[in-house]
Amino acid sequence: DIQMTQSPPSLSASVGDRVTITCRASQGINNALAWYQQKPGKAPKLLIYRASTLQSGVPSRFSGSGSGTDFTLTINSLQPEDVATYYCQKYNSVPFTFGPGTRVDF
Amino acid sequence: QVQLQESGPGLVKPSQTLSLTCVVSGGSIRSGNYHWNWVRQSPGKGLEWLGCISYSETIYYNPSLKSRITILVDTSKNQFSLRLDSVTAADTAVYYCARDGVDWGQGTLVTVSS
């Protein structure tokens, strides 16, 4: 199975900062990658799919890039409501594995 | 926008079977090219994809669950279900159903304990 890793595991930032989270697949997955935001006690929320396509209704400060094995989620101008854990997920083939998550706080 | 709602027992004894249902409203489970998924999250841990049933009723399972998992769809009731056999404390988690990754249920906590 393809393994997914994320870095860093956690980070602290300030309001207005640019935040970058990296997701790496152990084998190429083309652009079959999604990013989710999860707040405590809530279901995950889809932010990005197909590596770089912004889901409808998601603020434009969120962006995704990458293809193959290396992917990035960027949050431009971090806002207080962005405090959450962020997960990547591959969906090119079964199993649709999630990364371990990156916790973002202030 | 479709809504999903999980239901089932909140407490299951070790070695028994965990059974959950996801009722879909606001749209037909038979329409569109969607995958209907089960995902779980153990307390304080990350997300684990369990399996899904596709729009063509092809079923995919996480190999890590081996032969313990069964996913079924009941189109007449617009719902799909999860069955997990021989549970242990390690199966204690919040279980989510989701349509692709877009629409999610609120999640239901299942505790495995005697």
For residue A23, pLDDT over 90 is answered with: yes
Q: Which residues contact B30 (CB under 8 A, 6 or more apart)?
A: B55, B75
Residue A63 pairs with which residues in a beta bridge? A74
CB pair distance less than 8 Å for B106 and A43: yes
Q: How far apart are CA B16 and CA B86, in angstroms?
A: 5
Preceding peptide of A95 cis, ω within 30°: yes
Sheet hosting strand B18-25, strand order edge to edge: B3-7, B18-25, B79-84, B69-74
In the block, residue with structure tokens 């996480």: B62
Distances (CA, A) of B55 to A31, A94, B21, B98: 22, 16, 17, 13
The predicted structure's pLDDT at residue A47: 98
Q: How far apart are CA A68 and CA A23, in angstroms?
A: 11
The predicted structure's pLDDT at residue B57: 84
In total, the C-beta contacts within 8 angstroms joining chain A to chain B are 50
- Kindly state the average pLDDT of the residues A5-13: 98
- CB distance from B42 to chain A under 8 Å? no
- Kindly state the average pLDDT of the residues A1-20: 97
The predicted structure's pLDDT at residue B95: 98
- CB distance from B60 to chain A under 8 Å? yes
CB pair distance less than 8 Å for B101 and A46: yes
In the block, residue with structure tokens 């609120």: B106
* pLDDT digit string (tens) for chain B, length 114 residues: 899 999 999 999 999 999 999 999 999 998 888 999 999 999 999 999 999 998 888 999 999 997 899 999 999 999 999 999 999 999 999 999 999 999 999 999 999 999
The predicted structure's pLDDT at residue B56: 83
Of B52, B60, B104, the CB nearest to A44: B104
How many other CB atoms sit within 10 Å of the CB of residue B13?
Answer: 11
pLDDT class of A6 with cuts at 50, 70, 90: very high
Query: 3-state DSSP call for residue A80?
Result: helix
DSSP class per residue in chain B: --EEEEE--SEE-TTS-EEEEEEEESS-TTSSS-EEEEEEE-TTS-EEEEEEEETT--EEE-GGGTTSEEEEEETTTTEEEEEE-S--GGG-EEEEEEETTTEE---EEEEE--
The predicted structure's pLDDT at residue B26: 94
Phi, psi of B91 (to 5 degrees): -90, 0
The chain A residue lying nearest B109, using CA atoms, is: A41
Model confidence pLDDT, tens digit, residues A24-65 = 999 999 999 999 999 999 999 999 999 999 999 999 999 999
